Chains A and B, each alone.
Chain A
Amino acid sequence: MCGIAGVLFKNSDLNAKLGETLIEMLDGCQHRGPDSTGFALYGGEAETSEFVLRFYVGEGDEGAQNVDRVKRALVEFEAEILDGERVGSTYRAVVRYEGDVQKFAYAMEHAAKLFSIGSTLDIVKDIGGAHDVDDIYDIHSANGSHGLGHVRLATESDVKPEAAHPFWATGFSDVAIVHNGQITNYFKMRRLLEQRDYEFHTDNDSELIAVYLADKLKHGETLKQALETSIVDLDGTFSFLVSTKDEMGFAKDRLAAKPMVLYENDDLIAIASEEVSLNRLFPGHALDTTEPPPGTCATWSR
């Protein structure tokens, strides 16, 4: 129930515009989801043992207590805290950690609601529009190679930051997803993945897609292969965008029930629910956009 957007820059000259680009694209389709807005930003160079963790901690004293709990959990898990700051309702920690990321991630999830773990990924999401979120989190100065965005129309649950998108693949670093549609075999697929000992921290079908794809990647499939099987395995109506450290891709259901438009030039690939988002990047210009056919997917990398 939303609008989605994604962009990948083909060369690093444009990296400084990542935040600004996504803000514009999301503001352009805010009518699809006025309740909350989120960004999955891929920036910086990946250092193998350094991770950014973004927690939802809430406001005020409760937030402070949650931050303490997060810090204790990090120390307990022998993660060295290199940097940490509270922004909005979140706590962003930069840590050095050497062990199994999945176990680490699950343990941290139990300390506080974790938005993302990544060596390059940072998920920022909160209630309000794209500009509201930017005002708090300074999205426009974000620098990076690619990113995803999402505007949410809260229909099933309350308007709250932790229900905002994008979702990360719980337990897997640097995998993020934005999704428009509905997976109808959600519980069947979730049971299947839970039998493989994956944990789910929401009832949201976007989290399911992310974990489903991350599981395929873990077993050596390429992102393209994982997307191809997702079109067969997932039932329902969907257009989703997924990103990893160095790739971005989309998949579209076999009925093409949810919209998605793509534009590519020498500098970038931009994908969004509606052309109006793409037009924001080139005001006054008619774009040569394409609409991917039903049941298709594609990936791009730098």
Chain B
Amino acid sequence: MVTVDLSELPVREANDLIRKAGANGEDVDVLNPDARHHIGVGLADPITVRIHGSAGYFCAGLTDGPRFEVESNVGWGLADNMYTGSVVVGGNASAIPAVAIRGAEVVVKGNMGSRAGQVMKEGTLLCGKNANFMAGYMMYGGRIIILGDSGERVGEDMTGGEIFVAGKIQSLGSAAMQSDMSGAEDDDVRAFLDKYEISFKGSFSKIVNEGGNLRYGTAEPRRRAIPFFTFSGKSDYWNEKVQEDIYVKSKIGRYRIRGYGGARALPHLNDIAFKKDLSNAGTDPDVVSKVNMHTLVGGRHGAKPLDLSMPVMIAPMSFGALSKSTKLAMAKAAAMVGISENTGEGGMMDEQREAADQLIFQMLSGRLGWNIHDMQRADGLEIYISQGAKPGFGGQLMAKKVTEEIARIRGIPHGIDLRSPSRHPDILGADDLVIKIEELREATGYRIPVSVKLGAGRVRDDIKIAVKDGFDFIELDGMQGSTGAAGNEVLDYCGIPTIAAMQEAEEALAEIGRRQDVDIILMGGIKDGIDTVKSLALGADAIGMGTSALIAAGCIACMQCHVGTCVVGIATQDPEHEQRYNIDIEAQNAARFFESVRWQIAALTHALGYEDVRDLSRDDLVALTPEAAAITKLPYAPEYMAGEHQIQETVNIQRSGSHLQ
């Protein structure tokens, strides 16, 4: 038995000792916890940890296998994301106990704070006394047993699972209803009580999802394929796309959902030009070797940085929105060209981990597929706050794509229209976020960079918060970013353009004098090496590409990603459609595209007179439109329009003489 005294050791060292004891199979006694946070976080061995006193936030969080016993109270987020194992708390638990558990048994002998069991998937949460506001909020599965009163709005927006309440049901949440409890369920609950030696003789009421809210009612009728550019600002006002939109809404009576990117004409990188005659760009066949593009991301606070052969990443896209084959092609392409791949929402696959040299693991509000084991084998962790295509909204995955496999990985019921929560259970302000980031770092021994993905909205404030909270890098996503599914209006009208986001970020960092403390990865409609160089000159440390990588790897841009019947096998889970997708060929295609990006970055940087992409600056740019000038504060110089056309031509033509032999 190992004894850890927190009056002598900081939590970080204590956790190292606890994990070491776990590896040796020894139990641990924790003395003087004094309600400190993160005790036992990241432990993945089946030992017993006894905590003498009260624990703070995220006690037993991000664990798999151990048994925790806490003598007194616990703070927010008890047993966060715990897979197997158990926690028994002698006193009260603060808000969100058993948040996102995936099979653990959590027993709180006293009262529970609000939102107990939020987004839990599997396992049992037992409360010996009263629960509070919104117990079972957005739970996907598992069961909550409450021996006292339920609290207000119990089962709010629950999708699956059961809540058994012995005391008074104060009020039911939306989407929850009372139902009959079977004899077998009653036996199960009592067996659980016996297991934890809790004597209770009363009877229970059962609460479940009322069933009406799991699928959209009427399906969207599909009329005809109208190209996405038809409804850009340059077409007629009452064009056929607008008519179709009205027609569809007249059938379904709600907002429409679609995939792909925004289709409005917005100020973007093509409204910016280089302030130099670049007609000789690309004439040097050996230009790639003459420009330093090697980029490290996320190492500014001591974590092992991502090591990118050029300042480019593949943007987060999920297995779910995309087929497994497509994700594997992305992983392979990333490895071939020396850049990073990102899991997106919904978990990591073994094959993906194997194929990608460098893989970022994304954590979303629903904690779908999130777990300690995959965290520990990731090269970067990412807290998704929102994305450019739909800032402020959670992900959507239509039932057609929620296959049994995907439901299992994510821990959700099979065949629902999945609408992920719009906010995290445990991030309700910059102060909570500090504690959350530290939990992720504790769980991974401070080895892996932690990033945040921000959809561009209130960028100035958000960037300041992200830097204050100590993120290693920020993925900033403008409204030209694409998505697998979002409300049509949200896609086209929410957020701010990518160049505006970059500008606000730079200004915010200058205001607080912290530019050197964080890496900014710009995303949102960045289509090639030319856009990349402009982004870098505007201030980005690297960029992310999603849509262009998909197009390179076979996407035909039909904008029907959400439907689930993608004909080329990309945005689908239908095995018949996926069969059409050739992973190795498409990986090669994507890799070739990225090599063209590399070549363009080199050619332009070199033609601008530099040997390192870090020498690019705003001085290299002008704005071609009054809007772009107003947004970026670059000089307005429409006379550069001709030169811009020429670059697009030369650099694009030159690249076809590919150096990739």
Contact = CB atoms under 8 A, between A and B. Distances in A.
Contacts of B73: 275, 286-287, 289
Given A3-B431, A158-B512, A289-B92, A153 B76 contact: no
Interface in A280-302: 280, 283-291, 293-294
A181 interface: yes
B431 A294 contact: no
B54 A274 contact: no
Contacts of B7: 283-284
Contacts of B151: 293
Contact of A283 (B32, B95, B511): B32
A279 B54 contact: yes
Interface in A240-278: 255-259, 261, 273-276, 278
Contacts of A285: 53
B450 to A, nearest CB: 16
Contact of A259 (B53, B95, B111): B95
A156 interface: yes
Given A155-B465, A259-B95, 19 more contacts: A2-B431, A3-B431, A32-B431, A32-B434, A32-B435, A153-B431, A154-B468, A155-B464, A158-B512, A256-B113, A275-B56, A284-B32, A287-B73, A291-B94, A291-B95, A293-B132, A294-B132, A294-B133, A294-B152
A115 B32 CA distance: 38
Interface of B: 7, 32, 34-37, 52-54, 56-57, 71-73, 75-76, 91-92, 94-95, 111, 113-115, 132-133, 151-152, 428-432, 434-435, 438, 461, 464-465, 468-469, 511-512
> What 3 pairs across the A-B complex have the smallest Cβ distances?
A286-B72, A275-B35, A279-B34
A1 B430 contact: yes
Given A180-B429, A276-B56, A153 B468 contact: yes
A31 B441 CA distance: 15
Given A155-B430, A156-B464, A284 B53 contact: yes
Interface in A26-64: 31-33
Contacts of A256: 95, 113-115, 132-133
Tell me which of B7, B32, B430 has the highest count of chain A C-beta atoms within 10 A of its own C-beta.
Answer: B430
A182 interface: yes
Contact of B429 (A158, A182, A274): A182
Contacts of B132: 256, 291, 293-294
A259 B461 contact: no
Contacts of B57: 274
Contacts of B468: 153-155
Nearest to A295: B133
A89 interface: no
7 contacts: A237-B429, A255-B133, A256-B113, A256-B133, A259-B94, A276-B37, A286-B53
A258 B151 CA distance: 18
Contacts of A258: 428-429
A291 B97 CA distance: 13
A31 B439 CA distance: 13
Given A261-B94, A284-B53, A294 B114 contact: yes
B434 A31 contact: yes
B640 to A, nearest CB: 37
B95 A155 contact: no
Interface majority SS (helix, strand, loop, mixed), chain B: loop
Which residue of A181, A182, A259, A283 has the most chain B CB atoms within 10 A of its CB atom? A259
Contacts of A181: 429
Contacts of B113: 256, 291
A291 B35 CA distance: 14
Nearest to B71: A286
B50 to A, nearest CB: 13
A153 B430 contact: yes
Contacts of A158: 511-512
Task: Name the residue among A154, A182, A237, A276 with the largest chain B CB count within 10 angstroms.
Answer: A276
A78 B438 CA distance: 54
A278 B72 CA distance: 14
Interface string A152-180: 01111010000000000000000000001
B188 to A, nearest CB: 30
A261 to B, nearest CB: 7
Q: Which of B7, B151, B434 is packed against the most chain A CB atoms within 10 Å?
A: B434
Contacts of A153: 430-431, 434, 468-469
Contacts of B114: 255-256, 293-294
A58 to B, nearest CB: 19
Interface of A: 1-3, 31-33, 153-156, 158, 180-182, 237, 255-259, 261, 273-276, 278-280, 283-291, 293-294
Nearest to B152: A294
Nearest to A33: B431
Contacts of B94: 259, 261, 275, 291
A158 B32 CA distance: 37
B562 to A, nearest CB: 31
Nearest to B134: A255
Nearest to A4: B431
Q: In this complex, which of B94, B431, B468, B512 has the most chain A Cβ atoms within 10 angstroms of its Cβ?
A: B431
Most A-side CB within 10 Å, residue of B34, B36, B151: B34
B507 to A, nearest CB: 14
Nearest to B114: A256
Interface centre among B7, B52, B91, B468 (most CB of A within 10 A): B468
Contacts of A293: 114, 132-133, 151
A244 B35 CA distance: 30
Contacts of A33: 431
Nearest to B34: A279
A24 to B, nearest CB: 11
A286 B54 contact: yes
Contacts of A1: 429-431, 465
Nearest to A152: B431
Contacts of A278: 35
A279 B461 CA distance: 33
A291 B92 contact: yes
A141 B432 CA distance: 32
A268 B331 CA distance: 59
Contact of B431 (A180, A287, A289): A180
Given A155-B430, A155-B465, A284 B34 contact: yes
B119 to A, nearest CB: 16
A158 B509 CA distance: 11
Contacts of A2: 431
Nearest to B70: A286
B34 A155 contact: no
A293 B153 CA distance: 13
Nearest to B151: A293
A279 B74 CA distance: 12
A52 to B, nearest CB: 30
A158 B57 CA distance: 28
Contacts of A276: 34-37, 56, 75
A279 B56 CA distance: 10
Nearest to B435: A31
A261 B91 CA distance: 14
A90 to B, nearest CB: 24
Nearest to B130: A293
A293 B133 CA distance: 8
Nearest to B431: A32
B133 A287 contact: no
A286 B111 CA distance: 16
B10 to A, nearest CB: 12
Contacts of B464: 155-156
Contacts of A154: 468
A155 B433 CA distance: 12
A283 B36 CA distance: 11
B151 to A, nearest CB: 8
Contacts of B36: 276
Contacts of A31: 434-435, 438
A286 B91 contact: yes
Contacts of B53: 279, 284-286
Contacts of A237: 428-429
